Amino acid sequence: MDNKYINLEWRPELERPILIAGFTGWNDAADAASVAVDTVLNSWGARRFGAFDGEEFFDFQTTRPQIKLVDGVTRKVEWPENLLWATEPSVEAAGGRGGILLTGPEPNFRWRSFSAAVVELAKELKVEMVVTMGALLADVPHSRPVSVAANSQDSALVESLGLSASRYEGPTGITGVLHRICAEGGLPSVSFWASVPHYLPAVPSAPAALALLDKLSALLGTSVNTSDLERTAQTYQEQVSVAVSQDSDLSSYVQMLEDRFDSQTTQGARDLPTGDDLAQELEGFLREQRREEE
């Protein structure tokens, strides 16, 4: 393939893979999305196969390169870049299809060009669906289950999988632009957004990352090794609960959030089903898409 923005080291050969993307920065409250994607990457043993040209997409005064010491002596510059990873064909991942992963910081420049390059690459690699991970700060308590919204700009996906058509209006990040470009290019895409407590913006949220991975596993009918993340989530809950209990004002505020959370009804809310039923629905949708393309 000839894509001027992407440098490929080798070409994955996968059967109907799923592309999973997560970006650090604005789309990644409490690091939940990036931790989730990194967990998938490690669980599936994905290997790097390419990278976007950072010179085209980053303002290095905003997203600065890092100086690293190699062997305690040599100084090395690590430039911000968006990396591409792929599972091995023999690895059971993404419901047997294989996975392509896109990681790195949210680009500073040329979001439309970046997203168009992602879609072009996805089509070259015969990707059947794009899934993005995101997290936002919200008025939610840390002591309750993490809410994850799943939506799509693809009307067929919304109907087939019982997703929500996003009604959000306001500022967006690279994931919003990417989904719009996917829709324009006829590439099915799903967006997951976890809500994390706004009073803990700087604390990496393992529970939110776990919640995102639960939704991903249900959608794809596959599994991700989350044993380490589960232990981290338990520690997170314990440490945050202790810290909150030591601040009377914060404790009262969290109690108010808990009461509101418990009293809210789910009437009219649409959420993803779980387990085998959802995986079968997705497979049926993708099978129908392939028939239409033949």
- With a pLDDT cut of 90, the percent of the chain lying above it is 62
Cα separation of 132 and 145, whole Å?
21
Q: What is the pLDDT of residues 237-258, one digit of tens each?
A: 999 999 999 999 999 999 999 9
Q: How far is CA 68 from the centre of its chain?
A: 27
* Domain-located, residue 165: yes
* Domain-located, residue 234: yes
Count Cα atoms within 13 angstroms, Cβ side, for 15: 8
Opening angle at CA 21, ends 293 and 283, nearest 5: 40
Of residues 165 and 83, the one with the higher pLDDT is 83
> Where does the pLDDT of residue 137 fall: very low under 50, low under 70, confident under 90, or very high at 90 and above?
very high
For the chain, the residue count is: 294
Q: What is the pLDDT of residues 5-61, one digit of tens each?
A: 999 999 998 888 999 999 999 999 999 999 999 999 999 999 999 999 999 999 999
Supply the CATH number for residue 265's domain: 3.40.50.10900
What's the number of domains the chain is made of? 1
Q: Tokens 């936002």, residue?
A: 136
Give the other-Cβ count within 10 Å of 116's Cβ. 18
Examine the pLDDT at 122 and tell me if it is beyond 70: yes
Range of the domain at 248: 6-293
* Domain-located, residue 1: no
Name the most confidently modeled range: 108-122, 149-163, 192-206. 108-122
Give this prediction's pTM: 0.85
* Domain-located, residue 36: yes
